[in-house]
């Protein structure tokens, strides 16, 4: 549990920056964030995720509030700290932007506008939806990002061109209803979660740098590790929302296949009085039926857990809405 200091909220929008050893860029990024947009004041929060350099000091000098983890917990934890801070202080909206200098803070109004005007609950910057704005990045990363976007689109049921961009805006409904659990990353998980809850999602084409101005990516340093942990996060959030789709459908397919195999063997035994050379088919059918029953039981348990999760999220959503209406922790 990360301690969140109780500070007076002076604005309606929070711009949050996760930061881990970004002393070379964080001052410039924070300094470039507008202090007002669409008539709404903006507060800035830097979540120092265990930096060993002067990231926290430089962010503070640029005008940001700073919350430090004390040790490196991962991008997902840094995001949840930002989310909890926004909720506890009753902000109407939140924008997340990386502190490595790849995104231009001057573009914040492009994402914030649809959220503040009520045209979308969640807005994410897109590096790939406009071919004229394609970033200069390695071909393997472009290919990988497009494959991930296609998978997220299938899991979420909406068309997404860029599922891994961390430059985003969250409106009141998104702040109330969002759930995030992955420690490694959160970008794909958030889209699937919000889409599953029926919130409106919008992509806005934005020009970004395809490569970090300084150093290597903290998240995608190993593409294989990034791919594995991202898939694990997407699987986790998807089966939470659709347990019967993830377990019930495979269970039904296995059950039907097993029954068909055993009916074939039984028919042969009735007609010719023996099952050889199809003994293995009969045993395989029994195995498939047994495994399908286990999957059905697992789907039932997962469905119960999903109902409990939705109940808890509903209670949490009411609490967050009430806190925002009262003006947040700092105003009470």
Q: pLDDT value at position 285?
A: 92
Residue 226, CB-side half-sphere exposure with 13 Å CA sphere: 15
What is 142-201 written as a DSSP string? HHHHHHHHHHHHHHHSS--S-SS---EEE-HHHHHH-----SS--HHHHHHHHHHTT--E
Could you tell me if 126 and 132 are in contact, meaning their C-beta atoms sit under 8 angstroms apart? no
Residue 85, CB-side half-sphere exposure with 13 Å CA sphere: 32
Q: pLDDT value at position 228?
A: 66
More confident residue, 237 or 299: 299
* Radius of gyration of the chain measured on its C-alpha atoms: 24
Question: Is residue 274 very low, low, confident or very high in pLDDT (cuts 50, 70, 90)?
Answer: confident
Kindly report the length of the chain.
332
Could you tell me if 153 and 160 are in contact, meaning their C-beta atoms sit under 8 angstroms apart? yes
Q: Looking at the predicted structure, is the pLDDT value of residue 222 above 70?
A: no
Q: For 84-109, what is each residue's pLDDT tens digit?
A: 999 999 999 999 999 999 999 999 99
* Strand partners of residue 187: none
Q: For 24-81, what is each residue's pLDDT tens digit?
A: 999 999 999 999 998 899 999 999 999 999 999 999 999 999 999 989 998 989 999 9
Q: pLDDT value at position 3?
A: 52
Q: Is 257 helix (H, G, I), strand (E, B) or coil?
A: helix
For residue 71, what are its two tokens? 């040790």
Q: Looking at the predicted structure, is the pLDDT value of residue 332 above 50?
A: no
* Average predicted confidence (pLDDT) for the chain: 86
For residue 321, what are its two tokens? 């809405």
Taking the model in full, what pTM does it have?
A: 0.76
């Amino acid at each position: 549990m990360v301690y969140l200091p109780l500070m007076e909220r002076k604005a309606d929008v929070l711009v949050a920056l996760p930061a881990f050893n970004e002393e070379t860029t964080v001052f410039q990024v924070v300094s470039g964030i507008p202090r007002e947009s669409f008539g709404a004041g903006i507060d800035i929060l830097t979540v120092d995720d265990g930096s060993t350099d002067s990231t926290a000091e430089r962010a503070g000098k640029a005008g940001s509030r700073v919350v430090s983890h004390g040790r490196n917990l991962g991008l997902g934890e840094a995001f949840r700290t930002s989310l909890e801070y926004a909720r506890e202080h009753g902000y109407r909206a939140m924008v997340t932007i990386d502190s490595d200098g790849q995104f231009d803070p001057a573009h914040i109004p492009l994402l914030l506008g649809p959220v503040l005007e009520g045209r979308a609950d969640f807005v994410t910057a897109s590096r790939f939806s406009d071919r004229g704005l394609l970033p200069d990045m390695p071909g393997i990363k472009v290919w990988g990002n497009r494959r991930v976007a296609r998978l997220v689109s299938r899991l979420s049921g909406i068309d997404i061109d860029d599922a891994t961009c961390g430059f985003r805006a969250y409106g009141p409904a998104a702040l109330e209803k969002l759930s995030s659990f992955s420690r490694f990353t959160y970008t794909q998980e958030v889209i699937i979660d919000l889409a599953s809850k029926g919130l409106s999602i919008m992509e806005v084409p934005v020009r970004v740098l395809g490569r970090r101005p300084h150093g290597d990516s903290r998240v995608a340093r190993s593409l294989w590790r990034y791919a594995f942990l991202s898939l694990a996060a997407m699987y986790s959030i998807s089966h939470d929302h659709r347990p019967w789709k993830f377990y019930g459908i495979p269970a039904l397919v296995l059950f039907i296949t097993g029954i068909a195999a055993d009916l074939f063997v039984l028919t042969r035994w009735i007609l010719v009085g023996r099952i050889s050379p199809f003994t293995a088919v009969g045993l395989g059918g029994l195995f498939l039926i047994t495994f399908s029953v286990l999957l059905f039981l697992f789907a039932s348990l997962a469905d119960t857990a999903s109902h409990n999760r939705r109940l808890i999220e509903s209670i949490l959503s009411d609490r967050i809405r009430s806190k925002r209406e009262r003006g947040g922790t700092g105003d009470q």
